[in-house]
Structure 1
Amino acid sequence: MTAHILYVDDEPHNLSAFTATYRRLYKIFTAESAEEGRKILETEEIHIIITDQRMPKTTGVEFLASIIEKHPEPIRMILTGYTDIDAVIDAINKGEVYRYIQKPWMEEDLRINIEKAYEIYTLRKENKELTEKLLIANEQLEFLLRQNLLS
């Protein structure tokens, strides 16, 4: 399976450049605002969310923090041309951000970070599925033990 990436940025040329660079490697969804990003999250299975930090109505951290409850699974990354330590701290604490990457991004570095993020997404999903199977198996075992004790 290929990674499904949502990239949110208010600058259309950044969205175009990202799509042109990575469209052969991943399934790319783009949005020019947090609101557009939320709509895509409602209709598509997204594995990785990459967002610009500085956007007109909502910062990247605010967007990521606002979707955590409804969409906790995607791995989150922030791209920004600014170095603001408070934004970095907020990103980690409020937005549960995996990576904070400087613009302009280096194509290979960003690709490696996307690959690592997708690996984490996949491992978390597998872990969740195995945990659910283990719980079911445990319940079945407890049932069988009770049956043996009663007979």
Structure 2
Amino acid sequence: MSSESAPSAPAPKKRDPILLVDDEASLLEIFVSALSSEFECTTATSSREAEFILRKKEFKVVIADHLMPGGNGMSFLVRAREEYPHMQRILVTGYMKPEMLLRSVNEAALFRYLLKPVSLTELVKVTSEAVKLHDQSVAE
């Protein structure tokens, strides 16, 4: 087969960078497998590790678990809002009282929260919407 007849492969689509934060490595793996075809995924297993990563690289979206040892995801997302206002924030939680959830959504200006067990279809959809909102807020 000559090289002239071979179709040229399209350039690979640039994937948007997202950060996933959860102390459960198995859950991170599941999330990465669901999201990696659409997004460039970076993972952290603690809020401290995530804050270190955020200083090194820009992300469009951060998805953080609520309850983790060594600092909860909600506090991390509140700090992330202050330092990286355009980065969209998604909280994953197993349980939260409605009044606490409302306060959390306001304090961290969450894009969305997802209840465990998280539907992977919903995770991909919500992450895509968050990336679009990020791009709109940066363009303004």
Q: What's the Cα RMSD here?
A: 1.3
SS at match of 1:56: coil
- TM-score, structure 1 normalization: 0.79
Match of 2:109 in 1: 96
- TM-score, structure 2 normalization: 0.85
Q: Is the 8 A contact 1:61 1:90 kept in 2?
A: no
Moved over 4 A (4+): none
SS at match of 1:97: coil
Q: Does 1:125 align with 2:138?
A: yes
Instruction: Give 1:101 shift.
Output: 0.4
Identity across aligned pairs (percent)? Answer: 28
Between Structure 1 and Structure 2, which shows a larger proportion of helix residues?
1
Deviations 1:2-27 (A, max 9, x none): 22110111111111111122111100
Match of 1:138 in 2: none
Aligned pair count reads 127
Q: Is the 8 A contact 2:34 2:124 kept in 1?
A: no
Consecutive unaligned residues of structure 1, counting only runs of 5 or more, are 128-151
Match of 2:16 in 1: 3
* Aligned partner (choices 72, 78, 84) of residue 85 of structure 2: 72
Please list, as runs of the form range in 1=range in 2, the aligned pairs for 1:47-66 lying within 5 A after superposition. Answer: 47-66=60-79
For 2:58 and 2:44, locate their aligned partners in 1 and report how far apart those are by CA, in whole Å.
15
Structure with greater Cα Rg: 1
Deviations 1:27-51 (A, max 9, x none): 0011000010001111111000100
- Output the amino acid matched with 2:25: P
Q: Which has the higher contact order (CA 8 A, sep 6+)?
A: 2
Deviations 1:51-92 (A, max 9, x none): 001112211110011222221110000011113224312321
For 1:42 and 1:19, locate their aligned partners in 2 and report how far apart those are by CA, in whole Å.
21
